């Protein structure tokens, strides 16, 4: 049963990432930073912070379903790495700096924001 839940939650996370990236690509415009992956990783970090704050006192199976399985498939560090390598190959150093900085600092920040907001509300 656990394997089925992992498959369903992971599949839903991956499907959500795919659909959201198709929608967000329309906002790419002339920006060289990969906007879809950036937004997906930042929103995933925010949701992870919310989930950890919600389940901090008493972790349940639902926490694993949402965080490890769904959000694990939704966010995409491997694609972040690929996009970074492409920027290195294209020698877009300034864009690489901003993309990596915004992704790393932004992901930590949005996680913290999600955790803090829900802990204040609860």
| Helix, strand, coil percent values for the chain (each to nearest 5) | 85, 0, 15
- CA distances 115 to 36, 40, 86, 89, Å, are 23, 18, 33, 36
72 is in an annotated binding site: yes
109 is in an annotated binding site: no
* Residues in the annotated binding site for Na(+): 72, 75
Binding residues, as ranges, are: 72, 75
């Amino acid at each position: 049963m656990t394997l089925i839940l992992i498959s369903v939650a992971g599949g839903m996370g991956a499907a959500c990432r795919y659909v959201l990236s198709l929608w967000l690509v329309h906002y790419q415009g002339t920006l060289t930073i990969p906007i879809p992956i950036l937004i997906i990783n930042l929103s995933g970090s925010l949701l992870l912070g919310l989930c950890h704050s919600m389940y901090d006192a008493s972790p349940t199976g639902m926490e694993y379903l949402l965080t490890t399985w769904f959000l694990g498939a939704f966010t995409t560090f491997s694609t972040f790495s690929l996009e970074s390598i492409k920027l290195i190959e294209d020698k877009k150093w300034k864009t690489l700096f901003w993309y990596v900085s915004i992704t790393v600092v932004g992901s930590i920040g949005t996680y913290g924001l999600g955790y803090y907001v829900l802990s204040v509300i609860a």
